Structure 1
């Protein structure tokens, strides 16, 4: 099977990136009579996050999305992906925060263990490649957090370092890279086909 298309979409919080990504994949999946898969990395840790998750579910309710809840260890979705699927992963930034703090309940979060995030990063890229070997189109949504001023908190700076590094690697792999700004898609890279708006 030909490698699937990879689209990377970033933007500020509530910039319209998730809605744009959903519409993009719905349009393509309908055109090809294919299955829509939503990989959700969010965890309802408070009432605001629960409300956001419910809002996203409501947005997807008019189309037949297969939802896979996977806050960590993205590779665990691979057995559920079928050839020709149209897959949306929302979102990378939530996944990264979840992964950085895996093990915190035992007092050994990944963020404090030498080599832990490097292993998770390597596994992430292997998983993305495996997804692209099955999916017709994979869209990855991520938040743009690097426009903020440097933080006084060391852990925030570690997070920023990792998100910047992973963003660069995924944009390098991507066929299309889009930044959402006030609901407007700004296309920075488009190596394959036109982007439907």
Structure 2
């Protein structure tokens, strides 16, 4: 089972690159593809972003909305899975935490443990390939809010763990992929 990590900044082209990658690799042989969407429709702008992503995907790909739970059990009948994005899934978890509890290290550890379990389950699955998209949070300044700082800390650590386990890692900058691993 091949795990591919695709990271990049917001609006860097990472999702479009990941979609092209899965389309290329899944077209070589008949394959079933599952797109796992973790974004939530918070407002009109998010609606537009989600709709843009949906319109760009091939019609034959199935979609699973998984804003609150990442689990490999729904992937059993698929050859390829594209998760877009791990960082949005983490943001969704953080949004459930009252601001005064954001500094609680055990909450961050629970999220990271769940990420580790998910990555391990992916590696043990019968999938041919899993492509995981995530935001690169290490190139910006330190966030001004406690929620923003906690998000950066957890996503940065989760990305390092995913990159260590991934067979391939690509960062997308201004629409251009840069292979880091594999």
Matched, 1:16 2:1: no
Paired with 1:188 and 1:31, the residues of 2 have a C-alpha distance of 24
User: Which position in structure 2 is the counterpart of 1:68?
Assistant: 64
The normalised TM-score by structure 1 is: 0.84
Q: Is the 8 A contact 1:15 1:181 kept in 2?
A: yes
User: Which position in structure 2 is the counterpart of 1:152?
Assistant: 144
User: Which position in structure 1 is the counterpart of 2:162?
Assistant: 170
Paired with 2:126 and 2:103, the residues of 1 have a C-alpha distance of 34
Q: 1:139 to 1:129 in 2, by over 3 A?
A: same
User: Which position in structure 2 is the counterpart of 1:193?
Assistant: none
- Long gaps (5+) in structure 2: none
Q: 1:31 to 1:149 in 2, by over 3 A?
A: same
Q: Is the 8 A contact 2:33 2:78 kept in 1?
A: no
Q: Which of 69, 82, 107 lines up with 1:116 in the alignment?
A: 107
The more displaced of 148-157 and 30-39 is: 148-157
The more displaced of 43-52 and 9-18 is: 9-18
Q: Render the CA deviation track for 1:20-45: whole Å, top value 9, x for unaligned.
A: 11111111112121101111000010
User: What RMSD over aligned residues (CA atoms) do the two structures have, in Å?
Assistant: 1.9
Spell out the pairing of 1:6-155 with structure 2 (5 A cutoff). Answer: 6-60=3-57, 62-75=58-71, 78-82=72-76, 85-102=79-96, 104=97, 111=102, 113-132=104-123, 133-155=125-147
Paired with 2:78 and 2:56, the residues of 1 have a C-alpha distance of 23
CA shift at 1:112, angstroms?
5.4
CA shift at 1:153, angstroms?
1.9
